[in-house]
Amino acid sequence: MTRQTNWCTGRCYPWPDDGSSVAAMTVAPAIAASGLGRDYGSIRAVDAIDLEVRPGEFFGFLGPNGAGKTTTIRMLTTLLRPSRGSAQIAGKDTLSDPLGVRRSIGVVFQETTLDVDLTAQENLRYCTRLYGLSRRESELRIDEVLRLFSLSERRNERVRSFSGGMRRALDLARGVLHRPSILFLDEPTLGLDPTQRRRIWGFLRRLCSEDGTTLFLTTHYLEEADPCDRVAIVDRGRIVIAGEPTVLKRALGKESIELSSEHPEAVAEQVIRLTGIIPRIRDSVVSFIVEDAAAVMPLMLPLTEQDVEVRLTRPTLEDVFVSVTTDREGSNGLGG
């Protein structure tokens, strides 16, 4: 048995040497919710959420717009009082000990909450004072996170002059500044370009795998959730499926056909005409899932003559997502 130290908390958790699952060990969950729900008048934004997230786990919380993701995070982080149910974060109840919860967590919201009239360093220093860090410890940690996110040279510049990617990096730096044991991330890479997204995700994966921080993530980029240890897909305020991404994809038991073309809309129309299946379009790729690829692939032959690349792939997390979420027509419109 080895022990892994969490740099954020200084705590040690036992880890088995034989590769057996963390789930098999008796470890108190980092995040636990039972029957958690929230209403806005007659609208039920979150119905009943039951979940457990283990210490050091990378957990993805996925769902369509209006499914209740952001509302759930706001309840778990004590920013919103639930209409029913309960939640414990790092062993502390969100209703009876909200300050204890807040001392244990970091939060990166969808929208930045930085003060754009302050410098990067001033924003971070203000945060360290809220957490009661000494002046010496504050400066050491500010230097550390600015260097980590490549912002050292911009530390004395006002945030107003920062690009979207730099502001997002500073949001993340502030979120881990006090070394929380649990970090909540609500769409952390929304609006960032691919290079910025890769850089931020590299940091987050290291934070979880090397430092033992528990990550609770929502994202619209489903491919980003593939590295998660587990994911839960929520729809209309309830978790409809949960598990390891590879297991969920395997359980779908279907195959995906992808067609790449410079004219994806025209290809999609031909797919409908040839197969009767309505495909999805993302960028230049048209895709759809089928029960029996061997029966459908011959129908694609006319497309191969039009310089369309046809590929047979395994189901993706997006395929799982589409298969379990319902038609969003008539959604409550409250956002995540």
**Residue 141 belongs to a domain:** yes
The pLDDT of residue 154: 96
The pLDDT of residue 247: 87
Q: Do 49 and 237 meet the contact criterion of CB atoms below 8 Å apart?
A: yes
Rounded Cα–Cα distance for residues 123 and 167 (Å) = 11
pLDDT at 168 over 70: yes
The pLDDT of residue 51: 94
Tell me: do 288 and 171 sit in the same domain.
no
**Residue 332 belongs to a domain:** no
Question: Tokens 């919201």 belong to which residue?
Answer: 109
Q: Do 273 and 266 meet the contact criterion of CB atoms below 8 Å apart?
A: no
Q: What is the pTM of this model?
A: 0.74
pLDDT at 14 over 60: no
Rounded Cα–Cα distance for residues 167 and 290 (Å) = 42
The tally of domains found in the chain comes to: 2
Rounded Cα–Cα distance for residues 336 and 66 (Å) = 5
Question: Tokens 């040497």 belong to which residue?
Answer: 17
Residue 322: helix, strand or coil by DSSP? helix
Of 244 and 204, more confident: 244
Of 81 and 200, more confident: 81
Tell me: do 205 and 177 sit in the same domain.
yes
Of the three residues 214, 243, 272, the one that is the final residue of a domain is: 243
Q: What is the DSSP string of 38-61?
A: EEETTEEEEEEEEEEE-TT-EEEE
Tell me: do 156 and 296 sit in the same domain.
no
The pLDDT of residue 321: 86
The pLDDT of residue 11: 34
Tell me: do 47 and 116 sit in the same domain.
yes
Rounded Cα–Cα distance for residues 322 and 317 (Å) = 9
**Residue 88 belongs to a domain:** yes
pLDDT at 21 over 60: no
**Residue 336 belongs to a domain:** no
Tell me: do 190 and 259 sit in the same domain.
no
Amino acid at 226: D
Q: Do 189 and 224 meet the contact criterion of CB atoms below 8 Å apart?
A: yes
The pLDDT of residue 239: 94
Tell me: do 237 and 290 sit in the same domain.
no
Question: Tokens 């593939």 belong to which residue?
Answer: 226
Tell me: do 199 and 268 sit in the same domain.
no
pLDDT tens digit sequence for 260-298? 998 999 999 999 999 999 998 988 899 888 888 888 889
The mean-pLDDT minimum among 10-24, 32-46, 156-170, 173-187 falls in: 10-24
pLDDT at 7 over 60: no
What tokens does 179 get?
Answer: 């070394």
Percent of the chain scoring above 90 in pLDDT: 49
**Residue 225 belongs to a domain:** yes
The DSSP bridge partners found for residue 289 are 256
**Residue 335 belongs to a domain:** no
The mean predicted confidence, pLDDT, of the chain is: 85
pLDDT at 19 over 80: no
| CATH number, domain containing residue 44 | 3.40.50.300
Of the three residues 216, 243, 270, the one that is the final residue of a domain is: 243
Q: Which residues of 163-198 are buried (b: 16+ CB within 10 A; e: fewer)?
A: eebbbbbbbbbbbbbbbbbbbbbbbbbeebeeebbe
The pLDDT of residue 332: 39
pLDDT tens digit sequence for 141-162? 999 999 988 899 999 999 999 9
pLDDT class for 26, splitting at 50, 70, 90? low
**Residue 316 belongs to a domain:** yes
What tokens does 50 get?
Answer: 């039951």
**Residue 149 belongs to a domain:** yes
Residue 21: helix, strand or coil by DSSP? coil
| CATH number, domain containing residue 280 | 3.30.70
Helical pair 120-130 and 164-176, crossing angle rounded to 10 deg: 20
Rounded Cα–Cα distance for residues 61 and 68 (Å) = 10
Q: Do 82 and 44 meet the contact criterion of CB atoms below 8 Å apart?
A: no
Rounded Cα–Cα distance for residues 285 and 319 (Å) = 14
Question: Tokens 């004395």 belong to which residue?
Answer: 156
Tell me: do 271 and 197 sit in the same domain.
no
Of the three residues 243, 269, 289, the one that is the final residue of a domain is: 243
Of 329 and 308, more confident: 308
Structural domain boundaries enclosing 72: 2-243
pLDDT class for 315, splitting at 50, 70, 90? confident
Tell me: do 266 and 215 sit in the same domain.
no
pLDDT at 310 over 50: yes
Tell me: do 79 and 98 sit in the same domain.
yes
Tell me: do 310 and 182 sit in the same domain.
no
Residue 131: CB atoms within 10 Å = 15
Average pLDDT of the residues in 19-28: 54
pLDDT class for 23, splitting at 50, 70, 90? very low
CB < 8 Å & 24+ apart, contacts of 66-69: 66/328, 66/331, 66/332, 66/333, 66/334, 66/335, 66/336, 67/234, 67/235, 67/236, 67/237, 67/325, 67/336, 68/38, 68/234, 68/236, 68/237, 68/336, 69/186, 69/218, 69/234, 69/336
Tell me: do 142 and 48 sit in the same domain.
yes
